[in-house]
Each structure stands twice: as structure tokens, then as C-alpha cells.
């Protein structure tokens, strides 16, 4: 067996101990119940764009708190009058929803798209989350001493509320709500898949927020912010580790019940292979992982096409299986 196959074989049997606390299930049951009926206060405004074959809308809604979360809602024009699948997409750390045209591939497949900002980062969305303690540079250490007021909780609820908004749209087929994202977005995809029963499948590219304790020790990415805060306040390390355990995909992976497609780069120093496999190995639903031996923290065109085929295969399979009406 060559070195590449050996490396992958070792990752396929990697099961680090879970870091979940005894009240993990109770925490999420109570939290989801608390936010289930929280009003979205959503607004939708038509936007004029260069996309002649798409209807584009600027959407704002409220998730965790009263912060207006901004998003692009896009529909392919030829599908007017019919219910279409929808891709809900979450961006990577420091990013934003960008411009509508960057989602053209989904529109050309006949899918709707809902692309949201993650609060406070590089988009149009601010952040009204209250900070009771200091932070390291960036966002993820905000409120990290208390799971109920942490930045992680805020962005997870924001994503779950995005799914709720799409689930209520007459133009969208509720049986074909798909999640897609990379890095931070990939982690949010998996957490949303674990906590919501509305999505039908999930595509998580080089996902973050997996095996967070290992990441804090080794990652060169966002988790270094938690490490920095712990270095300044070593007496807060236990509280930090307690909070992040509730948002670690590894601890929630067994709650995922939908098909999942994941990519991992064996040279990724941000979301290391160990972190991705620690979560992937505990998913019990239909799943695929594609390890790329020489890929770092990125998403390559080859895998992007696999993701498109993964979604379309699911759509065709489950559309064909629907009983005839009449």
C-alpha cells in the first residue's frame, strides 16, 4: 500500500473521543423550541441585475436576534409558475454573499438559490450580538464563554431561520431544499443538516467546525482565534471548550439523516483531514467523501461538478419516484 492509500485508510478508521456534554440533546431541544416561533420579519425587494434569465430579490430576515440578515433570493425565469429545488448556500469565513451572478451554475440547472451573509463578516450584514467579554481578532470568540449567547449559536440559528424562510416559499419545492457551503459554510451546512428536518441533502466542502479541540491545537485558520483568547486568559479555557463542544459537528454528526457529500484536502492546514473525518465517520446516513491528496483549503472544479451531479441525481431519483397526481 502506497503512502497516499495508507493515509486515507488511517483516516477512515479515525474515531477520536466525542467531547459532547451530557446535556447536549437537551440544550438543542430547548434551543430549537425557543426559536421555533421567533418571527422572521422578512422583507423582499426585487433587484435589477445583468442576469436576464433570473429573477433576483434582496431579502432581509431576522435569525438569532434583531440583526437584519441580508441574502440574495434567486429564481430561474423559465421555471416561473412551477415549484423548483432550492440551494441554500453559506459562505466561508471572512466572506459574504457576494453578487448574484456567482450563483449562475445553480440557476442554469433550474434551481432557486438563497445565499445569505454570515453576520458581521464580509457582507452587508452587521451584528447586534451583545459582547459580555473581550474577544480575539475576528468573530468566533464573541460570547464564547457562554453557549447560550455565543457567536456560534447566533450563526447557527441564522442558518436554521434561512431554511425556515425558504421552506415557506410557494415557488420552492419543500422536498428539494439543498444545503451547500465551503469551510465555515461547510460546517454550517452540516450543523443545519443535523438540527433541521427540512433539507433534503447537504454538500459540505472542506468543512470547518469539526473536531474543534484538535483544530484549536493544529489549525492555521479561524480556530486560532480561540487559541489566542485562551492564551491571554488560560483560566477561561475550560469554559471555551465547554461552549464549542455544543457546536462541534463531530458531536452532532449522528443526527444527520440526509445524503451528504463532503470533500477533504489532505494538505489542508485550516480544516485538517483528521477534523473532517472525525465528523464524517460518525454520519450514519447515505454519504460520500472525496479525499484529494494534493489539495489544500480550497474547492476544485472537479469536485464542484461532482456536487452538481450529486444534487441532480437526487432530484431526478426523487422526482421520478413521486406518485402521479389525478
Q: Which residues are known catalytic residues?
A: 183, 268, 297
Are the C-beta atoms of residues 288 and 258 closer than 8 Å to each other? no
Residue 93, annotated as binding a ligand: yes
Centre a 10 Å sphere on the Cβ of residue 308 and count the other Cβ atoms it contains: 18
**Scanning the structure block, which residue is given the C-alpha cell 467546525?**
209
Cα–Cα dist 32/22, whole Å: 17
Annotated binding site for substrate: 93
Annotated binding site: 93
Amino acid at each position: 500500500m502506497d503512502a497516499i492509500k495508507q493515509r486515507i485508510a488511517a483516516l477512515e478508521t479515525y474515531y477520536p473521543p466525542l467531547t459532547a456534554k451530557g446535556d447536549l440533546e437537551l440544550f438543542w431541544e430547548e434551543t430549537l423550541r425557543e426559536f421555533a416561533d421567533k418571527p422572521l420579519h422578512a422583507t423582499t425587494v426585487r433587484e435589477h441585475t445583468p442576469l436576464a434569465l433570473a429573477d433576483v430579490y434582496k431579502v432581509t430576515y431576522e435569525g438569532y436576534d434583531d440583526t437584519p440578515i441580508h441574502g440574495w433570493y434567486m429564481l430561474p425565469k423559465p421555471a416561473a409558475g412551477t415549484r423548483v429545488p432550492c440551494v441554500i448556500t453559506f459562505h466561508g469565513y471572512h466572506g459574504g454573499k457576494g453578487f448574484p451572478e456567482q450563483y449562475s451554475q445553480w440557476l442554469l440547472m433550474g434551481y432557486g438559490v438563497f445565499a445569505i451573509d454570515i453576520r458581521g463578516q464580509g457582507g452587508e450584514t452587521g451584528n447586534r450580538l451583545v459582547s459580555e467579554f473581550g474577544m480575539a481578532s475576528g468573530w468566533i470568540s464573541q460570547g464564547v464563554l457562554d453557549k447560550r449567547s455565543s457567536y456560534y449559536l447566533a450563526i447557527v440559528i441564522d442558518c436554521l431561520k434561512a431554511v425556515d424562510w425558504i421552506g415557506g416559499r410557494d415557488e420552492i419545492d419543500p422536498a428539494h431544499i439543498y444545503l451547500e457551503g465551503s469551510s465555515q459554510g461547510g460546517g454550517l451546512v452540516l450543523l443545519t443538516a443535523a438540527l433541521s428536518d427540512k433539507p433534503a441533502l447537504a454538500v459540505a466542502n472542506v468543512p470547518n467546525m469539526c473536531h474543534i479541540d484538535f483544530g484549536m491545537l493544529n489549525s492555521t485558520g479561524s480556530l486560532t482565534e480561540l487559541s489566542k483568547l485562551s492564551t491571554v486568559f488560560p483560566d477561561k479555557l475550560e469554559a471555551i471548550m465547554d461552549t464549542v463542544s455544543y457546536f462541534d459537528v463531530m458531536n452532532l454528526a449522528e443526527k444527520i439523516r440526509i445524503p451528504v457529500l463532503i470533500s477533504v484536502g489532505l494538505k489542508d492546514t485550516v480544516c485538517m483531514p483528521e477534523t473532517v473525518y472525525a465528523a464524517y465517520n460518525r454520519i450514519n446516513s447515505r454519504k460520500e467523501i472525496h479525499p484529494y491528496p494534493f489539495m489544500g483549503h480550497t474547492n476544485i472544479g472537479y469536485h464542484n461538478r461532482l456536487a452538481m451531479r450529486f444534487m441532480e441525481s437526487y432530484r431526478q431519483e426523487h422526482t421520478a419516484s413521486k406518485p402521479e397526481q389525478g
